[in-house]
């Protein structure tokens, strides 16, 4: 038998032949193209050139299950903020810091009570900063001003520096940072949440000092009308309102420290190193603020206008240094907040 007789001719449809490609008559195998990956176009019999649709599972993010480009729900962001608050304030370190801050007014109040038990006066004269101590025996509300003036130079900033320095570096050290980033938050949103949590701690820490001082002052000393730095007398209710304003001004004075600590926290994966660096910078800046030869630079130190809150006890209130302080804190927040964002968004997260 010859080769031509044994192999059927291509394209013929006779008995034993291979069906001709593309024909739709009886015996044409249209499913051949379909099985090969080119589905037939309805009504034509030819291959379908329409690109296939992506599978439903491929259209979603493999990690979050969300469609690409969809923004996180604002309620989810509030949930993240609430979770950060709970985590921060449940730590034993945070509770210990708040306990130390609450103990400072108690120690001051008890010491003044013992010192003045024989009728002598406490402290010195004047009216700024710790000199409020001279008025505590006349009105316990002054213990609030004295306690805030005593804790602002070191205790409050140190506590804020510890919390801010541990915000990012602590998560990286514990190996939980990359798991936070898997959630649909994004690095920017997570960084803003960390900063908002730190600022909340600033406010809570300041109010802890103020409430502790007010409680001790009411228990150990008389309350009533008080004399302002200007010599005028105001009611106890108005004085209480000014005490609240002073507490808010002190909390706002810590904005720069919080931003600085958060920036340092993005530079390292060690929480202890970040906290130590932040506190060290805080001490260094305050030392430099006391050197007379640096008077030209001192107005730009974040601690320079901290004690300007005493101007809220003037009548009328002297706002110049208060506004300078708020502007300076906003500047530090913008500079170090931007630096923290630039560093954190470009950082290679390995832990």
Inform me whether the pLDDT recorded for 126 exceeds 90. Answer: no
pLDDT tens for 67-97 read 444 555 665 568 788 989 999 999 999 999 9
Quick check: is 38 in a domain? no
pLDDT tens for 134-147 read 788 889 999 999 99
CA nearest 223: which of 212, 209, 237, 206? 237
Mean pLDDT of 153-161: 94
Quick check: is 293 in a domain? yes
Quick check: is 39 in a domain? no
Q: How many residues does the chain have?
A: 351
pLDDT tens for 240-271 read 999 999 999 999 999 999 999 999 999 988 88
- The span from the CA of 117 to the CA of 226, in Å, is 21
What is the pLDDT, as a whole number, of residue 315?
Answer: 87
Mean residue pLDDT across the chain = 80
Task: Enter the tokens of residue 55.
Answer: 């599978």
Q: Print the domain residue range for 132.
A: 74-346
pLDDT tens for 2-23 read 444 444 444 444 444 444 444 4
| CA distance from start to end of the chain | 75
Mean pLDDT of 212-239: 92
Residue 50 is given by DSSP the state S
- Helix pair angle (74-90, 187-220), 10° resolution: 50
Quick check: is 104 in a domain? yes
- pTM of the predicted protein model: 0.75
Task: Enter the tokens of residue 75.
Answer: 């309620």
Quick check: is 146 in a domain? yes
Residue written as token pair 């001004």 = 249
Quick check: is 2 in a domain? no
- The span from the CA of 169 to the CA of 269, in Å, is 5
Quick check: is 55 in a domain? no
Task: Enter the tokens of residue 3.
Answer: 């080769």
- The span from the CA of 305 to the CA of 213, in Å, is 23
Quick check: is 13 in a domain? no
- The span from the CA of 259 to the CA of 346, in Å, is 18
Instruction: Give the chain's domain count.
Output: 1
CA nearest 210: which of 280, 140, 270? 140
Mean pLDDT of 273-300: 93
Helix (H) or strand (E) holding 340: helix 320-346
């Amino acid at each position: 038998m010859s080769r031509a007789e044994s192999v059927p001719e291509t394209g013929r449809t006779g008995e034993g032949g291979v069906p001709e490609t593309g024909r739709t008559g009886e015996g044409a195998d249209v499913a051949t193209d379909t099985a090969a990956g080119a589905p037939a176009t309805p009504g034509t019999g030819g291959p379908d050139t329409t690109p296939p649709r992506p599978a439903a599972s491929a259209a979603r993010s493999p990690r979050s299950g969300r469609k690409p480009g969809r923004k996180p729900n604002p309620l989810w962001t509030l949930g993240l903020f609430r979770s950060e608050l709970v985590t921060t304030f449940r730590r034993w370190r945070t509770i210990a810091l708040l306990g130390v801050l609450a103990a400072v007014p108690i120690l001051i109040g008890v010491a003044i009570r013992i010192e003045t038990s024989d009728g002598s006066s406490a402290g010195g004269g004047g009216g700024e900063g710790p000199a409020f101590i001279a008025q505590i025996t006349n009105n316990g509300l002054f213990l609030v001003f004295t306690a805030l003036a005593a804790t602002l130079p070191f205790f409050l900033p140190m506590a804020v520096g510890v919390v801010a320095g541990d915000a990012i570096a602590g998560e990286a050290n514990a190996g939980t940072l990359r798991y936070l980033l898997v959630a649909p938050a994004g690095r920017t949103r997570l960084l803003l949440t960390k900063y908002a949590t730190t600022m909340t701690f600033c406010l809570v820490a300041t109010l802890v000092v103020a409430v502790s001082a007010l409680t001790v002052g009411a228990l150990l000393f008389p309350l009533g009308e008080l004399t302002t730095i200007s010599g005028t007398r105001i009611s106890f209710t108005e004085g209480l309102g000014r005490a609240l304003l002073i507490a808010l001004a002190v909390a706002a004075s810590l904005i720069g420290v919080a931003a600085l600590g958060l920036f340092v926290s993005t530079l390292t994966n060690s929480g202890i190193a970040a906290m130590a660096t932040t506190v060290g910078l805080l001490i260094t800046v305050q030392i430099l603020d006391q050197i007379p030869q640096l008077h030209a630079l001192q107005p730009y130190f974040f601690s320079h206008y901290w004690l300007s809150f005493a101007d809220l006890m003037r009548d009328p209130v002297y706002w110049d240094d208060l506004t300078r302080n708020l502007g300076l804190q906003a500047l530090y927040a913008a500079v170090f907040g931007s630096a923290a964002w630039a560093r954190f968004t470009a950082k290679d997260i390995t832990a």
